[in-house]
Amino acid sequence: MESPADEVKDDMVSASLGDEFIDEESYFSKSTFPIKPDALMERAKEILSPAISIGTEDGGECLADDFEFVAAVVGPIGKKEYLGALGSFNIKDSFDLNARFFGISVDPIQPNRVWFFNRVLGIHTAEFMGAAPTGKEIKYPPQTLHLDFNDDGKVKEFGFYTVDRRQGNTGGLGGAFGFMYGVGKPLPIPECQPYKRSKRFRFLNFIGSLGQKLQKKKEEKQ
């Protein structure tokens, strides 16, 4: 994948090799993106508010015409497909939701991108995917999310990824897949199931472990 057009190039900013943390202010000062970081984060919070909810409550008005949604196994899909897919799940009608956003920041290397995290908490209050309401508490693993904006402050890309699959009770799944798994109605495809190592990967792990054991015995004999 090519670097985003809005990315601040490293050769534009003086930095010494070996310094693991970049000088964020230097990067922002070289940015040509017209919306400054503080204003962009406020715009992101507006987009995430219940009144807009990333386009699902304002008829997609906040989304750019070339908007794309992309996640770990879904997308990229366009504006029409994104709005249609979310509307078909009726997640808000089936769960008492709290997105629990935190950790918002602007990417100094791609200054049109806002990063943030969430730990979704939902209570199953109505029928979902054929599952009767149970009152079950659905706890998501932490997810990292991003919103990319154009010069007019409209969202051109939204995406998210699970960052710790061992937490929560959705089998490590995020997005709509997490709710499906949480109520016991996952789609019958591998992408809607908890991560499981393939037979080939398990075999490679076995060979690696066996090799380490043999090497250890060899060293003990020496």
Amino acid code (one letter) for 221: K
What contacts 216, CB < 8 A, 6 or more positions away? none
49-66 pLDDT tens trace: 999 999 989 999 999 999
Phi, psi of 106 (to 5 degrees): -100, 135
pLDDT at 220: 72
| pLDDT per residue as tens digits for the range 38-53 | 999 999 999 999 999 9
What is the reported pLDDT for 37?
96
Smallest CA-to-CA distance from 35 within 159, 158, 115, 154 is with: 154
pLDDT recorded at residue 99: 92
- Say how far apart CA 79 and CA 157 lie, in whole Å: 10
What is the pLDDT, as a whole number, of residue 106? 97
Nearest to 122 by CA among 106, 135, 107, 108: 135
With a cut of 70, list the residues of the chain below it in pLDDT: 1-18, 87-88, 189, 192, 195, 201, 210, 214, 222
Q: Tell me what pLDDT residue 9 has.
A: 64
Cα distances (Å, whole numbers) of residue 81 to 67, 88, 95, 162, 177 = 10, 11, 23, 22, 17
Bridge partner residues of 98 (DSSP): 121
pTM of the model: 0.78
Phi, psi for residue 97 in degrees, rounded to 5: -110, 145
Burial class (CB in 10 A: 0-12, 13-18, 19+), 212: exposed
